[in-house]
Structure 1
Amino acid sequence: MDPTFHRAGSVAVIGRPNVGKSTLVNALVGAKVSITSKRPQTTRHRLLGIATFPQGQIALVDTPGLHREQGKSTASAMHRWMNRAARGALEGVDAAILVVEAGRWDEEDALAFDALKQAKVPVVLAVNQVDKLRDKTALLPYLAKAAQGRDFASVHPISALKRSGLDALVADLLKLLPEAPPMYGEDEITDKSERFLAGEMVREQLMRQLGAELPYAATVEIERFVEEGELLRIGAVIWVERDSQKAIVIGKGGARLREVGTQARSHMESLFGRKVFLETWVRVREGWSDDEAALRTLGYHD
């Protein structure tokens, strides 16, 4: 690649749930634009992370994890929506990254690869979490097996969390992009608004602190977002589906809700670079996650 040419384009980040797609996007952007947790399907929306380098600019399309649906009768409206969002991210991109977990390839990895084959874009395989692979001698045979019969533009063992192997990944991604000027300013890191990011940071804390008790029955709606000089006043409504879930989110004496708010506010202040006054409320809306109309009102738009 001639270093005098500047390249720019869009790259979809695809994979099954919980393989580290959002962690990889954050590492390449150099800032936290996608929320993360140990729970599968933390990412629900398509989100653009803008990674700018001297040689070029990569618009990374972070997506929900592709997962196999068992049929409309058993897959919730939320799960169907996330699959549509993931597949829709492939439209119009210049290339894609298929993220898999080192040492593992299952049906959902194959599902993601098949979706990429249909999109007919060059695909880079990113084998993530190599630092967690206990038997390091198994890596090379795994890489060979993963690439066998599959036409990858390149294969990269990486650790998104530890930011290792990313320079070579970026170099090969840029080779796949057209020669073009930057699409975004150097200081732009995402296409999402601060209002959207604020809601995601509250939801991230719910996933991190309540993932086992409240898997996917909660969402966040930003009801108020007011700028007062250097202060942001934010009001966030946490929607759940049952009164019992509301009690879990609030916690004994409101302790858990306060901790969610404290952690979310800290992350907001770090990203937005200003003081934040955050208020949170918990409300019940039965069946919202399996109601297409409710999803649209809560910000889940195709």
Structure 2
Amino acid sequence: MDIKKSGMIAIVGRPNVGKSTLTNALVGEKIAIVTNKPQTTRNRICAVVNKNGCQYVFLDTPGLHKARTRLGDYMVKVVRESVADVDAVLLLVEPIDHIGGPEAELIQRIKSLHVPAVLVINKIDTVEKEKLLSVMQVYGAAHDFAAILPISAKNGEGVDELLELLSQFLPEGPQLFPEDMITDQPERQICAEILREKLLLCLDKEIPHGTAVELTRFSEREDGVVELDATIYCEKASHKGIIIGKGGAMLKKISSLARSDMERFLDAKVFLQTWVKVKENWRDNLNLIHNFGYRDE
């Protein structure tokens, strides 16, 4: 494909608004983990889409929230910095005709940086179409958005129109990433995230937010089987017991779900071994936060 325009677009919004679902819909492949729990995304994920002579580089960011730990501070910093030095910002909101704290803060940031912004109203499959007018009016009064577009990232409605709309913000110039590259995330990082996604899906309440995953081995055998060793860290001994489950049943379930997703992603048979270790209050320990891959760019 002959790329004539390329640029970077930050996807921002409050937790659980559908940023990662939209990222995956735009790419057409699962590169960002998705759960119904807030603060699933911790790092900034780069997603690359090549279409109609354009290369779009989307930055999927953590949800803007009130930080309560050093990990939370890091996630909020990632969001704020992602809005700078991009060609456009995509503010993703829910179809609610009221501007909440995170949205107000992001609009302020967009204004201060004088960056073009598109308001995207997600989850339109969950409301009556008439409701969207009042949502558009409320946000239209708060900021002079370059465009306002209702979509459903979940079922793909409006996603192609969104790409078409965003092409106007891309400057002319060569591609930023190779054509066969869809993300800047290494395979081992995506596999670690897949395992963390299953922890979020299978476990209740606060436990999954206190977990981190470290891949200590990622190697391919001669027969093509990928061998992975993963350590799940949690913050309390009682959490460790819950993650492992009675007779190891919960850990087996989590590992099995993760393995099948990893096999789909790597297009190879995967042999996965998992361990659970306790690291108390790791979310407030900067060294451990960095060790688990949450680093400043």
- How does the TM-score come out when normalised to structure 1? 0.93
Q: Please, which moves more after superposition, 150-159 or 185-194?
A: 185-194
Residue 191 of structure 2 is aligned to residue 193 of structure 1: no
Cα pair 1:48 1:60 within 8 Å, conserved: yes
Give distance in 2, aligned partners of 1:26 and 1:251: 31
Give distance in 2, aligned partners of 1:166 and 1:35: 19
Matching residue of 1:166: 159
- 1:36-115 alignment, distance < 5 Å: 36-69=34-67, 75-104=68-97, 105-115=99-109
Cα pair 1:50 1:57 within 8 Å, conserved: yes
Q: 1:289 aligns with which of 274, 283, 287?
A: 283
Please, what is the CA RMSD of the aligned residues?
A: 1.5
Matching residue of 1:9: 7
Cα pair 2:255 2:272 within 8 Å, conserved: yes
Unaligned 5+ segments in structure 1 are 70-74
Task: Look up the equivalent residue of 1:85 and give its one-letter code.
Answer: V
Q: 1:276 aligns with which of 265, 270, 281?
A: 270
- 1:146-295 alignment, distance < 5 Å: 146-212=139-205, 214-229=207-222, 230-295=224-289
Task: Look up the equivalent residue of 1:299 and give its one-letter code.
Answer: G
Cα pair 1:100 1:126 within 8 Å, conserved: yes
Matching residue of 2:134: 141
Task: Look up the equivalent residue of 2:170 and give its one-letter code.
Answer: L
SS in 2 for 1:222: strand
Report the count of equivalent residues.
Answer: 293
1:213 Cα shift?
A: 5.1
State the percentage of identical aligned residues: 40
1:215 Cα shift?
A: 4.0
Cα pair 1:39 1:211 within 8 Å, conserved: no
Give distance in 2, aligned partners of 1:80 and 1:260: 28
Matching residue of 1:72: none
Give distance in 2, aligned partners of 1:250 and 1:82: 28
